[in-house]
């Protein structure tokens, strides 16, 4: 009677560039897999030693030495369990995205990733050379094939494994999150399992790296493409599976983790994005302006859920146009969340600036200059608090505003991380309602009232923008789906609205280049995803 192979999936949150620290976690996890879980084999994510994506750290001259030292340390300190892990490694002067199998002090085989993604947020062809050969190793009588991330999205590498006659496929991944990605992955991996005719262990890393969020959601799939197990969303986990070499059947040794709702999925991604950026970069906490509006309300709720109330500070900075409702609602949310809260009027700062500028502004009628000055007074205050206390300033602009430039450079854009950078305004409302189902922290009238920057008397966002339902749909078609102006008009939108919105998107690229990063949750976020020239004669109307 055959003994099943016990495989442990290590869905870990690793730190890019921390090769010694990542190596230590891999060793610690491998020993736990062996001693506590009696695992025969433990699987780690793509580029686990360097973290993903390491970007131009891969070009550093010392990379090769650091990776070789890490591999030697693992070989010396781990025995009695087989490790499969990812790392960058040079071979014959070329750098490969590699997966290696280490058993009892020996590197028994290596696999070089064949399909190097070079689209959206990926630019692996900048660094790596593609492999062209499959890798199959034997373990307890089973033939096990390796796959790395993008490989499983293409049929050719899987066909190689099918031709090699594998019994089980181990897939190492660093697959970033966007809305709907987990479902898409499961469908693709199911297709590959059926193609190769063998079960698939699909391990994905978790954790946030700058603007990218890695959601985990690791999978076990049968040879028929049935999902046997799903791991946690946006959290670490060690998951044990059992592969019966006689029957070729894969089974999970624990219950599948419930998949979150669509709103919960996005919200948890934002929470992890904030938590990892703050903690991995060593900030003591965060500070943000709490305006009484919905964007700052949702942002501060995410911050508290990410870091705890004791590491979040909010400041209301009223001006003569700030309504009493805004002051009351900001205080109500701060009290509900239990955070440190202060009120600092910007009136004296604004008046002082205007006095100093009176010579320069004489003869000019009031315009957005005075509005922007209010935002810049607030930015100065928040940055001073940040410098003194070691707190990161969270900005609160949403994707809709960033798209059309409805923001002030060195004002409300002053800060280090934008929680809602990839969240359209309509989704801001949706997530705010969701957050209130967990506990009531966002006053209902903040959700119900017309949005306003309160930089002028009786101002609302819709004074200068289409309704957000209309705006967000136009932006989705133009920014995320690359529709032309005419194609958007053909969808039933007013030509004047379309042309105006597209022009605003194009002329405000210079602002977005200077904006803080924020968690990416859509398929086309501003930043790594969308790289348009600032200086351009391109006309969006065609």
Residue 495's CB is within 10 A of a number of other CB atoms, namely 12
SS (H, E, C) 481-528: CCCCHHHHHHCCCCHHHHHHHHHHHHHCHHHHHCCCECCCCCCCCECC
The CA-CA-CA angle for residues 526, 528, 531, to 5°, reads 70
Catalytic residues: 46, 113, 149
Contact status, residue 97 vs residue 124, Cβ threshold 8 Å: yes
Q: Is 399 annotated as a binding residue?
A: no
Q: Is 292 annotated as a binding residue?
A: yes
**What is the token pair recorded at 79?**
């025995």
Q: Is 215 annotated as a binding residue?
A: no
Residue identified by tokens 């100093």 is 356
- How many CA atoms, within 13 angstroms, populate the side-chain half-sphere of residue 297? 33
Report the alpha-carbon distance of residue 94 to residue 66 in Å, rounded: 16
Q: Is 511 annotated as a binding residue?
A: yes
Q: Is 249 annotated as a binding residue?
A: no
Q: Is 372 annotated as a binding residue?
A: yes
Q: Is 180 annotated as a binding residue?
A: no
In sequence order, what are the residues at sequence separation of 6 or more whose Cβ sits closer than 8 angstroms to the Cβ of residue 442?
Answer: 294, 297, 298, 301, 333, 432, 435, 436
Report the alpha-carbon distance of residue 342 to residue 336 in Å, rounded: 15
Q: Is 181 annotated as a binding residue?
A: yes
Residue identified by tokens 């780690």 is 44
Q: Is 296 annotated as a binding residue?
A: yes
Q: Is 175 annotated as a binding residue?
A: yes
Q: Is 183 annotated as a binding residue?
A: no
Q: Is 422 annotated as a binding residue?
A: no
Report the alpha-carbon distance of residue 403 to residue 422 in Å, rounded: 10
DSSP letter (8 states) at residue 234: S
Sign of CA dihedral 269, 274, 515, 403: positive
- How many CA atoms, within 13 angstroms, populate the side-chain half-sphere of residue 1? 1
C-alpha distances out from residue 205 to 53, 181, 215, 319, 484, Å: 11, 14, 7, 46, 36
Residue 28's CB is within 10 A of a number of other CB atoms, namely 12
Q: Is 371 annotated as a binding residue?
A: no
Q: Where is the binding site for L-glutamine, in residues?
A: 119, 175, 181
Q: Where is the binding site for deamido-NAD(+), in residues?
A: 372, 401, 511
Q: Where is the binding site, in residues?
A: 119, 175, 181, 289-296, 372, 396, 401, 511
Q: Where is the binding site for ATP, in residues?
A: 289-296, 396
């Amino acid at each position: 009677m055959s003994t099943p192979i016990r495989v442990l999936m290590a869905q870990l949150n690793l730190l890019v560039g921390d090769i010694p620290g990542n190596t230590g976690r891999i060793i610690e996890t491998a020993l736990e897999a062996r001693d506590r879980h009696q695992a025969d084999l433990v699987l780690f994510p793509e580029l686990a030693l360097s973290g993903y994506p390491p970007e131009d750290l891969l070009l550093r001259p010392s990379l090769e030495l650091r990776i070789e030292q890490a591999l030697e340390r693992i070989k010396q300190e781990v025995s009695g369990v087989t490790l499969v892990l990812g790392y960058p490694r040079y071979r014959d002067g070329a750098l490969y995205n590699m997966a290696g199998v280490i058993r009892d002090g020996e590197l028994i085989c290596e696999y070089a990733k064949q399909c190097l993604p070079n689209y959206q947020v990926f630019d692996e062809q900048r660094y790596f050379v593609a492999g062209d050969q499959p890798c199959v190793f034997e373990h307890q009588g089973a033939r096990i094939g390796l796959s790395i991330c993008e490989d499983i999205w293409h049929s050719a590498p899987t066909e190689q494994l099918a031709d090699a006659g594998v019994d089980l496929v181990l897939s190492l991944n660093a697959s970033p999150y966007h809305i709907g990605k987990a479902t898409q992955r499961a469908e693709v991996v199911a297709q590959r399992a059926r193609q190769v005719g063998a079960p698939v262990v699909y391990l994905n890393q978790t954790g946030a790296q700058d603007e990218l969020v890695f959601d985990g959601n690791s999978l076990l799939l049968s040879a028929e493409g049935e999902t046997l197990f799903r791991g946690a969303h946006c959290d670490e986990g060690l998951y044990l599976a059992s592969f019966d070499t006689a029957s070729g059947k894969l089974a999970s040794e624990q219950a599948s983790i419930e998949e979150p709702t669509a709103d919960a999925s996005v919200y948890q991604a934002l929470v992890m994005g904030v938590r990892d950026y703050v903690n991995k970069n060593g900030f003591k906490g965060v500070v943000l302006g709490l305006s009484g509006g919905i964007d700052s309300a949702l942002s501060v709720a995410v911050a508290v859920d990410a870091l705890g109330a004791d590491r979040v500070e909010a400041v209301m900075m009223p001006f003569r146009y700030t309504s009493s409702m805004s002051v009351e609602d900001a205080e109500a949310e701060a009290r509900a969340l239990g955070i440190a809260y202060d009120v600092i009027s910007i009136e004296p700062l604004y008046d002082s600036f205007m006095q100093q500028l009176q010579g320069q502004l004489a003869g000019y009628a009031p315009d957005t200059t005075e509005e922007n000055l209010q935002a810049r007074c607030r930015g100065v205050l928040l940055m001073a608090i940040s410098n003194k206390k070691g707190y990161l300033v969270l900005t609160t602009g949403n994707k809709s505003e960033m798209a059309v430039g409805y923001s002030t450079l060195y004002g409300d854009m002053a800060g280090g991380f934008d929680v809602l950078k990839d969240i359209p305004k309509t989704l801001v409302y949706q997530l705010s309602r969701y957050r209130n189902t967990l506990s009531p922290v966002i006053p209902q009238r903040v959700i119900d009232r017309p949005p306003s920057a309160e930089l002028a008397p009786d101002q609302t966002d819709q004074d200068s923008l289409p309704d957000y339902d209309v705006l967000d749909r136009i932006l989705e078609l133009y920014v995320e789906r690359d529709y032309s102006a005419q194609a958007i008009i053909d969808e039933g939108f007013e030509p004047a609205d379309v042309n105006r919105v597209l022009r605003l998107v194009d002329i405000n690229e210079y602002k977005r280049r200077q904006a803080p990063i924020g968690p990416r949750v859509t398929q086309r976020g501003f930043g790594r995803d969308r790289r348009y020239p600032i200086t351009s004669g391109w006309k969006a109307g065609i």
